[in-house]
Structure 1
Amino acid sequence: MSQISNVQCLEHFEQVQFLDLRQNILKGDRAKCCKCQLINPTYIEQAFQKWIQKTQDEIQYIYTEFQDYLNPLKLFQEQMRQTQKSFDQNCEHIINEIDYLIRGINYDKNQKIKYLQFFGENISLSILQEMAELMSEKAPILKQSKRDVQLYIKLKLIINFAKQVMIEQQNSVIQLVKQQQQAKEKIETFKDIYLQHKSQYQYTETKNIYNIKQFEVCRVITFNKDDSIMLAGSNSDIKVWNFNNGKVTENQTLTGHIDDVISLTFSLNQDLFISGGSWKDMKIIIWRKHNDLWKYTQIMDYHKGYVPQILLNKNDSELISCSSDQTIIVWKTSLNVWKLEQKLANHEGTIYGMSLNYSENYLVSCGKDKSVIVWKKQNNIWKYYQKITHDSYAFRITFVDDDSFLFQLNNEGFIRLYSNQSQEKFQESLEQRITVQDKEDPWLLFPAFYNVEKKLVIQKQNQFVNLIINQDNGTLNIVNTIQCESHQNNGALSKSGRFLAIWDSSPIMEGDGIIKIYEIVYSNRE
């Protein structure tokens, strides 16, 4: 604490005595002296006590979380030791039994040889008679003795026992390997989740680096897995752009929908993307790359309304679509053909948006019925888990970690954050409400985006596109705001979190607009 006396504020060059701990304050404006403008500041001593307590809580949290994964590993290690010990004991028993058999067989062999050799050394009448008996058909010389048969039976029993032991040990090892794999997967999942809370990047600035004039209405944009392709809706067509570090060249125009394309999602693993259509179309189309050209390979027309959003899970095994027909459809793929697996029908109005958490065991959806519904995956089936209701409809919903999601209501001037810290129900964190620039936004498109690695949220509100950083301590702060010409704007964050594309509609000429490419600059933390 004695070192604090040397710290001065940048404005008055007086000793810093207070810290401003409010959420929406920039880092450079938090240290205050007595001459600074003060609104509920915290004394340095109190701040240090809070910091010490928070550090201790973080250390305890990390210790507890890691211990939950160390204990199963230690148990698995002990099981392996017991298996090895049991296996060694069984092998030793089998070896001893075989050794006993070998010694018995050798003894019997030597006795027979000695017996036969005896005939040639001491010839008598009785021996001659026994030799005749042995050479007769009645008693062939190679006839097995009773001991031979007993040894053979015992040998078969030992061999069968050995086989059974090997099978049991093999099954035991297989089971332990499965447990080890499950433990490894849990550790990897925990590692990924843990890294979400410890970002290695610090947001620096946002730069507009390229613009594309597009006269057709663009209602959706998305990027592929490595930021090398950008897709943009162009009325009912899809434009495919080659994307090279923010420089864009048009490659192909795809036709297949008969009404505006309003949803797009790209696979993280392969050259595949999915599109969803508006009112007159209502179709979902699967597109794959063949000989460097994109072609549609399947059309699904189960929905009876427009398709505002489509999600594809991390390993491309599950596709989730929502619609104005009040349903969510879960699709599963087999031999590259998508089939309806499950229909979720708990909403009572148009569903505007959805989001999967990182572990893909929670799904949230929101819509016109003024509700947010949480779905939980159990035994590979999505089940209704929780319903959150408000006095207005919700949209632009996204998970920001495994147990927290945020969204907007259309008549509020802030973003709500809900968390599930108790593993029971999601509840709002009232202190985490993020104030935005406008209360209403009549434009329902432009979904929210979240990049796990960069911990960056993209959230539109009317003419404003907010860049929000999820801090290591769990607080959410707006670090930059891009103001568009019109509230009718759409965009997407690239998969790397490095680029942001926004189609900004002209407020004068309907349909006339510009796709603006922004580079988001980060610095590496030490």
Structure 2
Amino acid sequence: MDFCKQSEQKSIEWNSKCFRYELVPQMKYRQQECCYCIAIDKNNSIVVAGSNNNIKVLQLKDGLKQIQLINKHQNAITTLIVFKNRSYFISGSNDCSIIIWSFNMISNAKYISKLIGHKDWIKCLIVNPKIETTIISGSYDKTIKIWSLSTNFQQQDQQSWVCTQTITSHLNQVEAISINQNGNKLLSCGADSMIFVFQEVDRLWKLKQKIQLKEFGYRISFITDDQFAFQPRNNYLCIYTLNSVTDLYNNQINIQVQGGQKNCDSYFPLICLNDHQMLISKNGININLLKYEFNLTNNIDCKLIQVIEFQYLCQWDGMIYGTASNDGKYLITWDLKSKAIQIRQLKQNHE
């Protein structure tokens, strides 16, 4: 389903390219086990996917082929993140632990480090993109933890990661977190209907802004240092922009999306693909693809260009999980109805 809906503010000249994801049927991979999370490496050659409390390592070539099964977690895998500049990935689980892995060591299913500290399920994970020696985790235990590497990053079998800070601002479970490209601003949203903005000062994260919401949401992501997107449990996506005078974020525009009336959870993060100026926001049984651009005054405008609607087993079924490759080429999903990992490829056609 394609859309050309404009936001309420004055429209601007859009890029002449039209983007959409198209299903690649021959790449379908059957998986009966529940898959809450998927990640793909920077070369688009290896996919890691949750499979109940196991991690499947899949080779992506003409299709998906399993090359390893890792079973070090004791409960469901809820989040997977791949480092952009290192051959590492991280897993978070309902067993309250976080494990750091190296793609170079997966043949014997050996991990680098196991992080213990959260008292409940791991809900979200991010890596500081600036230096990749800081991991940030959010949990059902209402806390955000900062984990820092304390030894030489190159010594893969001697790494020691320690919790250097615990943030207790949220009064309910942490649903999503996001960090800017400079690695000095952090966003979080929680089931307490709050968004918090943190700034790093002298290696500690300080609370800079509280945003009270009318309704909570499961997804949040920086677009630039000055803009971020937030997906509430509704049929619109909120864009917040930094006010240069107050140095605080304000809700600038809301863009219509689909899926707000269906059941949802936080395990498919909101994705920002800066190279294509696109946002991917899962909402209920729909995946919304949005295109954004900036006008001459650096205000953002955004429109919905594609909605991928999944079949569902019942009215409240929103069990659709996935990710996109860093270059935006692939959108990879698993859903309860198909019980398969499916790959869609980005197509760009001139209008």
With the length of structure 1 as denominator, give the TM-score of the two structures: 0.59
Residue 60 of structure 2 corresponds to residue 240 of structure 1: no
Q: Partner residue of 2:167? A: 344
In the alignment, the residues of structure 2 paired with residue 383 and residue 441 of structure 1 have an alpha-carbon distance, to the nearest angstrom, of: 35
Contact 2:89 2:103 in 1 (8 A): no
| Superposed structure 1 runs of 4+ greater than 4 Å apart | none
Match of 2:171, as an amino acid?
A: E
Distance change in 2, residues 1:306/1:471 (3 Å): same
Provide the C-alpha distance between the structure 2 equivalents of 1:493 and 1:441, rounded to a whole number of angstroms: 22
- Over the residues paired in the alignment, what is the CA RMSD in angstroms? 2.4
Q: Contact between 1:289 and 1:295, CA under 8 Å: does it hold in 2?
A: no
Could you tell me whether the CA contact under 8 Å between 1:451 and 1:497 is conserved in 2?
yes
Letter in structure 2 aligned against 1:231:
V
Distance 1:235 1:327 in 2: 24
1:30-429 counterparts in 2 under 5 A?
A: 202-209=17-24, 210-244=27-61, 247-278=63-94, 281-290=95-104, 293=107, 294-314=109-129, 315-335=131-151, 336-410=159-233, 412-422=234-244, 424-429=247-252
The 8 Å contact of residues 321 and 334 in structure 2, kept in 1 or not, is answered as yes
User: 1: distance between equivalents of 2:88 and 2:147?
Assistant: 15
Q: CA deviation at 1:350?
A: 0.1
Contact preservation (8 Å) 2:118, 2:139? yes
| Distance 1:524-1:287 versus aligned 2 partners, 3 A rule | farther
Task: Name the larger-Rg structure.
Answer: 1
- 1:372–1:394 contact (8 Å) kept in structure 2: no
Match of 1:180 in 2: none
Amino acid at match of 2:149: T
1:451 paired to 2:273: yes
Return the letter of the residue paired with 2:308.
I
Letter matched to residue 298 of structure 1: S
Structure 2 residue aligned with 1:436: 257
Q: CA deviation at 1:359?
A: 1.8
Partner of 2:282: 460
Give, in angstroms, the shift of residue 290 of structure 1: 4.0
Please give the per-residue CA displacement for 1:465-500, whole angstroms capped at 9, x wherever unaligned. Answer: 011111243211111111111321001011111100
1:442 shift after superposition: 2.7
The SS at the match of 1:471 is strand
CA change 1:260–1:363 in 2 (3 A) is: same
Structure 1 or 2: larger helix share? 1
Letter in 1 for 2:255: I
Contact 1:362 1:377 (C-alpha < 8 Å) held by counterparts: yes
- Asked if the contact 1:471/1:477 (under 8 Å) is kept, the reply is no
Gaps of 5+ in 1: 1-22, 27-39, 41-46, 55-197, 507-511
* Structure 1 position 345, deviation (Å): 0.8
Q: Of residues 337, 346, 351 in structure 2, which corresponds to 1:520?
A: 346
Preserved contact between residue 226 and residue 496 of structure 1 (Cα < 8 Å): no
| Structure 2 runs not aligned, ≥5 long | 152-158, 313-317
2:156 is matched with none
Cα drift, residue 235 of structure 1 = 0.3
Task: Output the CA distance in 1 between the equivalents of 2:263 and 2:96.
Answer: 22
CA contact (8 A) 2:18 2:350 kept: no
Aligned to 1:347, what secondary structure does the other structure show?
Answer: coil
Matched residue type, 1:483:
E
1:440 shift after superposition: 3.3
Q: Is the 8 A contact 1:394 1:407 kept in 2?
A: yes
Measure how far apart 1:379 and its partner are: 2.2
Higher strand content, 1 or 2: 2
The equivalent of 1:491 in structure 2 is 322
Residue in structure 2 matched with residue 475 of structure 1 by the alignment: 301
In terms of mean alpha carbon deviation, does 331-340 or 286-295 score higher? 286-295
Which residue is 1:4 aligned to? none
1:291 Cα shift?
5.3
Aligned equivalent of 2:154: none
| Counterpart residue type for residue 56 of structure 2 | K
Residue 202 of structure 1: CA displacement? 3.1
The offset of 1:515, in angstroms, is 1.1
